[in-house]
Amino acid sequence: MLKPHSDAWYDRLATLQSGYFYPWRSTVPPYNGEDTFLAMLDDLLAPDKDVLEVGCGHGAMALDYAPRCGSVLAVDRVPAFIELAQQGVRERGVANVKFVCDEGYDVEVQRPRIPAADHSFDLLISRRGPLHWVEDAKRVGRPGAVLLMLNPVHAPLPEWNDWLPPALQVTPPPDYTRRQSVERYLGLGGLRLESCWSFDVPEWFDEPLELYRKLTFGLPPEEAPGYEVMETVLARIFSEYGENGRFAQRFCRFLWQAVVK
Spans of the chain, pLDDT less than 50: none
Calculate ∠ Cα 53-217-248, nearest 5°. 95
Please state the φ and ψ torsions of residue 80, each to the nearest 5 degrees. Answer: -65, -35
Cβ atoms < 10 Å from Cβ of 48 = 8
Could you tell me the domains of the chain?
7-154+175-202+252-259 (3.40.50.150)
The kind and range of the H/E element at 28 are: none
The pTM for the full model equals 0.95
Distance, in Å, from the CA atom of 216 to the CA atom of 228, rounded to the nearest integer, reads: 13
Burial string for 195-226 (b: 16+ CB within 10 Å, else e) reads ebeebebbbbbeebebbbbbbbebbeeeebbe
pLDDT given for residue 58 in this prediction: 98
| Amino acid 108: pLDDT | 81
